[in-house]
Amino acid sequence: MYSGILKVGDIMEFKKIMVILGITAIVSISLLFGASYAWYAYSNAESNIEGKTKTTAPTVIFAQTEYLQSRETMPIDDNDRYNYGSNNSFTITLGEDLVDYQTGIEVSLKNIAMANELKIENYKYELLQNGVTVASGNFGSIGSAKEMILMPMTVLNPISYPGTYNYELYIWLSDDGTDQNALMNKFFSAKINVNSATKK
């Protein structure tokens, strides 16, 4: 006969059952959401990739090497940068297999190693594409970074295919008319890196 009074053992047993039911409900809901998200992610990725991306990349050829180095830093007038600045050149060619695709190019410097004295606004860079400046700046705010994007992702639209673009990168110490002896013969080195993205 039920007396209306719960014993301590009964209360503990009831709490255990409630905890087990709560954990079971949480696990079940988590599995349901996990499965739903996995299916959504798979379906979404498939629809975004299929028939839109292309693994073929443009051809990048460096005239010398992809590394740019300078150990004989001397201040020069900005107008003389093309004659005396440190430089490197390379070409990017979009083949005929890319004619129906949009191709974006990003140019950056990686593995930058440079003297702290050159981390100033007077230490400058300029990137030319077919003789036209597409990026310019300086190293005044580089801090401890080892990478720097020179030209953000830019879509190339050649008139015909294959289409070749000529790039020239110049780096120099700008003469500001003051005593810059402390900046002379400081080192700079970096790897020129070209990333591409091709989509329809």
Residue-range domain boundaries for the chain: 1-50, 59-199
pTM tops 0.85, yes or no: no
Q: What CATH architecture does domain 59-199 belong to?
A: Sandwich (2.60)
* Per-chain mean pLDDT for the chain: 83
Q: How many CB atoms lie within 10 A of CB 42?
A: 10
Mean pLDDT of 43-69: 68
The closest alpha carbon to 174, from 86, 98, 75, belongs to 75
Cis bond before residue 162 (omega within 30° of 0): yes
For residue 26, the model assigns a pLDDT of 58
Q: Please, which residues bridge with residue 103 across strands? A: 156, 198
Type of residue found at 27: V
Mean pLDDT for 63-86 is 94
Q: What is the average per-residue pLDDT within 122-146?
A: 97
pLDDT at 4: 53
